[in-house]
Chain A
Amino acid sequence: MVYFKWAFWGTFWLIVAAFFHYTLPQNDIVRIVNTEVERQELNDWTRMFWATPDDQSVDLINRDVQFIHAVTPEGDIRVYRNEDTGWGWPPYFKFDTSNLYAEASDAVSTKAAPEWYAVKHYGWRNEFLSIFPNAVSIKPVAGPDVRIIPWLNIVILTLFFALVWAIWARWRRFRRNRIDPVLEELEDSYDAASDSLAEKRGRIGRWLDSWKSKK
């Protein structure tokens, strides 16, 4: 039972962490090397990692998707998709995909003369599932060592944990005041019932014994 409880809460918090890690924005300092448009097949379950652009294309199983290719100062590769989130989830309300594409194309620089950009994005890159983070905005930064403090994430996570703590404290209080006394009462009455049952059995036993022949 204890293992089950730990497994349940472990899985629950893992899902919550994954949800926030996927949805909240992150910044990469990168050098943008290319922008391109590529046809994507979107007919399996990984469809949920792609945007649903507008009403007409809901039924389409393949469509063109814009990509932004970039390289980090350490030389790691970053590939972003560039899609509208529209009015859907996650709530970035991004409608300027084409503008961002133009900005990114304008930001392309070479290894010899690098220009560094902060790409704000959400989502995961996974090579096996062929999924890509979605770029939300780009802005030029002074150099490859710029550190961006994620104020928005700090605020959102603080509010979230405050809410969890508030619910948890109320649940504990509710349990202490309403559920524990009832359980104790049940336990007491169970004890009393089994005592009186034992007593009754004893009396019936004695009565039955009285019919047996005495040796």
Chain B
Amino acid sequence: MLALARLFIICFVLMTAVFVAVSLWSRSVRKRKLAREWDEEIREGDREAFIDEGLEDYSHSLRRRLILLVYVVPILLIGVIVYLVNFY
């Protein structure tokens, strides 16, 4: 059981690091896109407000929730490997 706990902790730490990195990266990409959209197409009203509003929408989007797959996929992968190696 100690080995399972160790695996769980190591995986959790690694996946959390990846999750944080991907979250920050994805948000910055969205921010850059919004800024470019304002610069090229809108060019009227408050630029900051437009970007903040876009990021607020992004916070509730499916795309942001999909980053949680970072946790789900490795667990599924381990499950598949356990099945294939021992019971297939």
Query: Footprint of B on A, CB under 8 Å?
Result: 52, 54-55, 86-88, 91-96, 99, 136-137
Contact = CB atoms under 8 A, between A and B. Distances in A.
A88 B3 CA distance: 6
Interface residues of B, number: 12
Contacts of A137: 85
Contacts, number: 33
Interface of B is mostly: helix
A93 B3 contact: no
Contacts of A52: 3
A51 to B, nearest CB: 10
Contacts of A93: 78, 81-82, 85-86
Interface of B: 1-4, 6-7, 78, 81-82, 85-87
B1 A55 contact: yes
A100 to B, nearest CB: 9
A87 B86 contact: no
A92 B81 contact: yes
Nearest to B3: A87
B85 A86 contact: no
8 contacts: A55-B3, A87-B4, A93-B81, A93-B86, A94-B85, A95-B82, A95-B86, A137-B85
B88 to A, nearest CB: 8
**Which 6 residue pairs across A and B have the least CB separation, nearest first?**
A87-B3, A96-B86, A87-B7, A93-B82, A87-B4, A55-B2
Contact of A91 (B78, B86, B87): B78
Contacts of A92: 81, 85
